[in-house]
Amino acid sequence: MNGPVSETTTMGFDVFIPARYGSLRLPGKPLIEIRGKPLIQYVYECARSSSAARVIVTTDDKRIVEAVRGFGGEVYVTRAEHPTGTDRIAEAVDALGLADDRIIVNVQGDEPQMPGSLINDVARTLVDHPQTVMSTACHPLAASNGQNDPNVVKVVTDADGLALYFSRAPIPWSREGQTIHAQRHIGIYGYRVGLLKTFTRWQRSELEQIEQLEQLRVLYYGGRIIVHHTATAPGIAVDTREDLVKFEQSLAST
């Protein structure tokens, strides 16, 4: 578990954690107990270690609502039909009446080791690049460590650090068989409330539906996404049963 973050950020932002019960690869994932705490609580505590003014879990499942309230967290109950976490967050920020220029950081509900410092960095990166509508993060990915794994999302950026494309496929692809220094996308997003309102009005693009990557909706409609590069991975994201075992083992070693 990450400790409190020592540095502070001057801008105000809030963290929203979208969580759903019906994960295809690991059903009931947010409520799986590890050392007496549900997975969603680890994620919430990571978010609280950032400089966020407020941390809110968004979900449509009453079991998750009860669990979050049980450990003293804040939760907003959304409709069930949202296709992505960003759509779910958009409903919550609209209902809460947040200002269009308010910055929101989306920390996914399966990131129990997301550093508070990285959450701050994603918020700060958006502030520092006002010409962009969204921020996210990545770290170097060795060719032997997930480049061909569809569960590992890759990103390529331009000379200014703006995202060109995200994919589950190995990008870039070396036609000559050279060693590729790819970048792994980290599932965290920063955006302003105004963008969220627009996001929900856009139709899901074919690219988004094929890759199942919501950030492709922003690229498809011409939005620019700035990518914060960090040297190391933020920790274990729990997508599969194997990831869960790795997370439990990491707790045992601390």
The domain of 85 spans 13-137+188-252
pLDDT along the chain (254 residues), means of 10: 40 94 84 95 98 98 97 97 95 96 96 97 97 97 78 94 96 81 93 96 96 97 97 88 90 80
pLDDT at 10: 52
Residue 218 lies in a domain: yes
The answer to whether residue 172 sits within a structural domain is no
Residues 6+ apart with CB under 8 A from 64: 19, 20, 21, 30, 31, 40, 57, 75
Round to whole Å and give the CA distance between 136 and 106.
9
> Is residue 158 in a domain?
no
Query: Does residue 167 belong to any structural domain of this protein?
Result: no
Predicted confidence at residue 8, as pLDDT, reads 38
Determine the pLDDT at residue 3: 39
68 within some domain: yes
CATH for 80: 3.90.550.10
pTM beyond cutoff 0.75? yes
pLDDT of residue 1: 36
Question: In this structure, what token pair is assigned to residue 40?
Answer: 């969603």
What tens digit of pLDDT does each residue of 160-191 get? 999 999 999 999 888 887 777 789 999 999 99
How many domains, the chain? 1
Nearest to 45 by CA among 115, 138, 135: 115
